[in-house]
Amino acid sequence: PPSVIDQVAANLAAHTEARMATLAEPIEDVETLFNPNVVKVVSDLNGLALTFSRA
């Protein structure tokens, strides 16, 4: 939804040290997990992205 994009944009503007931002949500089903059209992100305990994959 547009409100989520606005939230990411506002957070990025508020944290000028950040160079980029992305949205992510937990994968809740096996079909999504193995769908090559869905980009997956591995993040650390602080929510910082470590890697992205379509695998």
Reported pTM: 0.70
The predicted structure's pLDDT at residue 17: 94
Task: Give the pLDDT confidence score for residue 37 in this predicted structure.
Answer: 97
Whole-angstrom distance, CA of residue 17 vs CA of residue 48: 14
The predicted pLDDT at position 41 comes to 97
pLDDT at residue 1, as a whole number:
79
Segment 18-51, tens digit of pLDDT: 999 989 999 999 999 999 999 999 999 998 999 9
Q: How far apart are CA 9 and CA 2, in angstroms?
A: 11
**Domain extents in the chain:** 2-53
Q: What confidence score (pLDDT) does residue 6 get?
A: 94
